[in-house]
Structure 1
Amino acid sequence: MEGTNNKTRIILILAIILLAIILGLGFYGYFKVLSTDLIYEGVKVDQYDLSYMSKEEAFNFIKDKKEEEISRKHMRLIYLDKEYNYGLKELGFYFDYGKAIDRAYGVGREGNLFNRLKEIVRIKRDGVEISLDSNLNMEKIDHIVENISQDIDKEPKDAEFHFNGGNIQVTEEIIGKTVDKDKLRQMMYDNIHSLDIIQIPVEDIIPKITKSLLSRINGIIGEYSTSFKGSSQNRIENIRLSANAIKGKILMPGESMSFNETTGPRAKKYGYKEANVIIAGEFTPDVGGGVCQTSTTLYNALLLADIAILERSPHSIPAKYVKFGQDAAVAFGFLDLKFRNDFDFPIYFDSKVLGDRVYFYVYGDRKSKDYTIKIEPEIVETIPAKEEIVLDKTLEPGSKVLVQQGRTGYRVNTYKSIIKNGKTISKDLITKDFYRPRNFIYRVGEEPSTTTSTDTDSGLNNLIEDDESENIIEDGDIEN
């Protein structure tokens, strides 16, 4: 019995020693695992197994695999017959290898001893996969988008109107193209993994002036001419120069035009000559004389074309080349002729100086403007010039000397009638003009016995004050 007990004790001791050895070896093994600098078994990055690799080995391994993969991939972009292919490297594509390896190495290295051991065992059994993050160098994308845009973009070109002696020709417009660069950038960014074929987003730029629009200029809708017979060569040159500045202009629907801005300042450096202008109600030589006849002729052509007049002024002295109420004075910086095209078609201006006349023609759509205009001025009041007498002791008694030439004044209403199919469908008052009268002023020799409160100095001063109220320079009439 005693022998049996001894044998049992020996077996028990051996078992305890064996268990101690096994436990010791186990703890030794696990503690060795916990202190390793290798990635634990079962850890993958993007499907590649990195078990028992150092961080450096894992980095180089993943990079070699993925860089070879990147070099084989391209992004394809297409627009019509143009095709662009870019490798992922050209697009600035890259993987964040360092971040992925750091995450792989960190698996099983967080928490206390028992949690770590538990996690290491789970990873060995079930495995874990770390995603490999990627990104793009947007500066490279921007550069590529700019290059594509420069290759595809095309400036639009308006249709052109050519007028040669009444022969009208219109060229086709050219539709412009522009790459939607923001949209293309986003499409490339979103497509970096799927690498589908990209249809480059391109927008059409429709020119403002098209052939169909310009083709509506098909005939004269208003014309007028005036005579400059008896004018000096300088005055004729000013008329020719200012008329040529208007010639060839196109006014699109809704657009406005200023006569002064179009013809420019009346200065010698622009070719204008010295001729009579109106200063303080008197004809005086100055640069630009005669331009008012150009503006007046244009004004009447505009009226007959039924163009909206925005600004117009009468002369201080009635013009001799048109009826009262139909003149249009201009003075650069002061008086202007402005107008606007309220039609839904463009209008074109032609002019010529031929013989002793200046002509203006307004072209437009004769099918739309299927009526005629009649302009009728009416003198509603005639104001005779009065006489003023200034006694002058320096003159012989009874003598009479003209100091200021008088002129008759007028009030004029001007009407515009619209006539269609021979019938007047409307008649409207368009302007009310006042041409001021001016008194005759005479110096009269004073009789020795005559006494008066009016003397020479005070009478002349009144004359000067009256003239200063008309001190705008009007660009010329002639007193024919």
Structure 2
Amino acid sequence: MERSNRKIKIAFMFLSIVIASIIGLGFYGYFKILNTNLIYQGVRVEKYDLSLMTKEEGLNYIKENHEKELKDRSMKLIYADKEYVYSLDELGLYSDYEKAINEAYSVGREGSIFKRIKDIIYVKKNGIVIPLDSNIDKNRINHIVDTISEEIDSDAKDAEFHFNNGNISITNEVVGRVVDKEKLSKAINDNIDRLDTIEIPVENILPKVTKSLLSRINGVIGEYSTSFKGSSQNRIENIRISATALKGKLLMPGESLSFNDTTGPRDKKFGYKEANVILNGEFTPDVGGGVCQTSTTLYNALLLADVTILERSPHSIPATYVKFGQDAAVAYGFLDLKFRNDFDFPIYIDSKMVGNQLYFYIYGDKRSKDYTVKIESEIIETIPANEELILDETLEPGSRILVQAGRKGYKVNTYKSIIKNGKTVSRELISKDFYRPKNFIYKVGKDVVETSNNLEDELNNRIDDIEMDGSNGQ
């Protein structure tokens, strides 16, 4: 009995020692494993093994190695003979190291003691990889894209037409280019992991005016001249200024031109002089007199070139330097001569003054314009001038004093004919003009005897004389 009790005591003591050992080992494991400040064994961030490192050690380790790798890895961008190489660091790639370290450190530290131990054992055996989140600095990418664009981008340059005394020379056009910044930025962003060589997306900018197009200007397709003989020096100077403003104008297909916009306001500060102009049917001194001869000469050259006329007005009285119905009056802000190039080739305007003649030439594709234009004016009606008599009792009986010289009026139709291979293929009415008549006005004394038939002939003869005097026309 006594021996049996001793055995029980010995067994109890042994069990107590075992339990105490287990408890001791448990406390030791808790303090040594569960209460450690080290990252548990088997934890990696990407390819970097952080086993048994402190957070600070792990942070420094992955940061140092990863950033070195960013500098060693690069992306190549190419265009033609240009090559750009940027490291990932230069591209602005950055990583969230703090987040990765916090996630690595949290492994085996969440949940109950038993869950933690289970996680620690699993990770030690199987390992775990924490992703390293990376982002790209958009501002850095935009700066790189802008830098590349500045080096590659170039403006398109139109071919240039040069005309010197009838000799034509044309420079080549230059194709421009522009980097598609949006596409390039996206390509860089999408290529961060692969690091493939990128072909920089570049778009060509085609110039509007090419040498092949300008080369279609190969000869005169319409020309006209008028005489300014007998004009004052001021009037001649106004013709010269306005004609020079139009000289060298190039109109591409579909483009329009305004005479007034091109020649500018008739103002002394622009060099225009005072000379006779037609105002309300009268010759009146004003700045810019003579400019209408420029517009009329150009108008007729345009008609013969078959250029589309958009706006044209006749004078109130016929001009003396051109046939009836073929004049083109202009007044800045009121009357204009406008036209448009409806050909599929450009046209070029040249002008010159030789002796007492003003010339306008319209250049274009003489080979494709395989017809000629004929302009004809037809007086539909001649309206005689009437006479008005004003009784003046202070005058001697039978006396007559001219107060206002009169003139005939006209209704005129103008036609344009297209002639091809010597035959008229079309004829169209292009204008209907009315030049108003003007009455003769006399002051007469008493007892004036009317001899209307003889007077009518006399009046018409005097009108003809006035209309033949070209020195006062605008």
In structure 2, relative to structure 1, the CA distance for the partners of 1:407 and 1:104 (3 Å cut) is: same
Verify the 8 A CA contact 2:67 2:89 in the aligned structure 1: no
Instruction: Give the deviation of 1:87 after TM superposition.
Output: 2.5
Q: Does 1:71 align with 2:66?
A: no
The amino acid across from 1:240 in the alignment is R
- Deviations 1:172-201 (Å, cap 9, x if unpaired)? 111112222222222222222222222222
Which is worse superposed, 95-104 or 360-369?
A: 95-104
User: In structure 2, what is the Cα distance between the partners aligned to 1:437 and 1:15?
Assistant: 145
- Deviations 1:408-430 (Å, cap 9, x if unpaired)? 11111111111111111111111
Which residue number in structure 2 is paired with residue 221 of structure 1? 221
Q: Does 1:287 align with 2:287?
A: yes
Which residue number in structure 2 is paired with residue 273 of structure 1? 273
Q: How do 1:302-341 and structure 2 match up within 5 A? A: 302-341=302-341
SS of residue matched to 2:293: helix
User: In structure 1, what is the Cα distance between the partners aligned to 2:29 and 2:395?
Assistant: 143
Which residue number in structure 2 is paired with residue 236 of structure 1? 236
SS of residue matched to 1:105: helix
Verify the 8 A CA contact 2:410 2:436 in the aligned structure 1: yes
User: In structure 2, what is the Cα distance between the partners aligned to 1:387 and 1:291?
Assistant: 33
Q: State how many pairs are aligned.
A: 453
User: In structure 2, what is the Cα distance between the partners aligned to 1:393 and 1:98?
Assistant: 119
Verify the 8 A CA contact 1:292 1:477 in the aligned structure 2: no
Which residue number in structure 2 is paired with residue 387 of structure 1? 387
Verify the 8 A CA contact 1:309 1:338 in the aligned structure 2: yes
Which residue number in structure 2 is paired with residue 469 of structure 1? none
User: In structure 2, what is the Cα distance between the partners aligned to 1:141 and 1:351?
Assistant: 56
User: In structure 2, what is the Cα distance between the partners aligned to 1:75 and 1:248?
Assistant: 52
Q: Specify every segment of 5 or more residues in structure 2 that has no aligned partner in the other structure, as ranges.
A: 449-469
Q: Does 1:105 align with 2:99?
A: no
Which residue number in structure 1 is paired with residue 170 of structure 2? 170
User: In structure 2, what is the Cα distance between the partners aligned to 1:81 and 1:63?
Assistant: 36
Q: Specify every segment of 5 or more residues in structure 1 that has no aligned partner in the other structure, as ranges.
A: 449-475
User: In structure 1, what is the Cα distance between the partners aligned to 2:339 and 2:27?
Assistant: 101
User: In structure 1, what is the Cα distance between the partners aligned to 2:27 and 2:395?
Assistant: 145
In structure 2, relative to structure 1, the CA distance for the partners of 1:400 and 1:111 (3 Å cut) is: farther
Which residue number in structure 2 is paired with residue 362 of structure 1? 362
Which residue number in structure 1 is paired with residue 22 of structure 2? 22
Instruction: Give the deviation of 1:168 after TM superposition.
Output: 1.4
User: In structure 1, what is the Cα distance between the partners aligned to 2:394 and 2:111?
Assistant: 127
Which residue number in structure 2 is paired with residue 151 of structure 1? 151
Verify the 8 A CA contact 1:30 1:117 in the aligned structure 2: no
The amino acid across from 1:440 in the alignment is F
In structure 2, relative to structure 1, the CA distance for the partners of 1:392 and 1:119 (3 Å cut) is: farther
Verify the 8 A CA contact 2:299 2:327 in the aligned structure 1: yes
User: In structure 2, what is the Cα distance between the partners aligned to 1:271 and 1:115?
Assistant: 100
Which residue number in structure 1 is paired with residue 457 of structure 2? none
User: In structure 2, what is the Cα distance between the partners aligned to 1:399 and 1:112?
Assistant: 139
User: In structure 1, what is the Cα distance between the partners aligned to 2:110 and 2:326?
Assistant: 98
Structure 1 stretches of at least 4 aligned residues deviating more than 4 Å after TM superposition:
none
SS of residue matched to 1:41: coil
Which residue number in structure 2 is paired with residue 408 of structure 1? 408
Instruction: Give the deviation of 1:396 after TM superposition.
Output: 3.5
SS of residue matched to 1:237: helix
User: In structure 1, what is the Cα distance between the partners aligned to 2:434 and 2:411?
Assistant: 5
User: In structure 2, what is the Cα distance between the partners aligned to 1:278 and 1:271?
Assistant: 20
Instruction: Give the deviation of 1:136 after TM superposition.
Output: 2.3
SS of residue matched to 1:53: coil
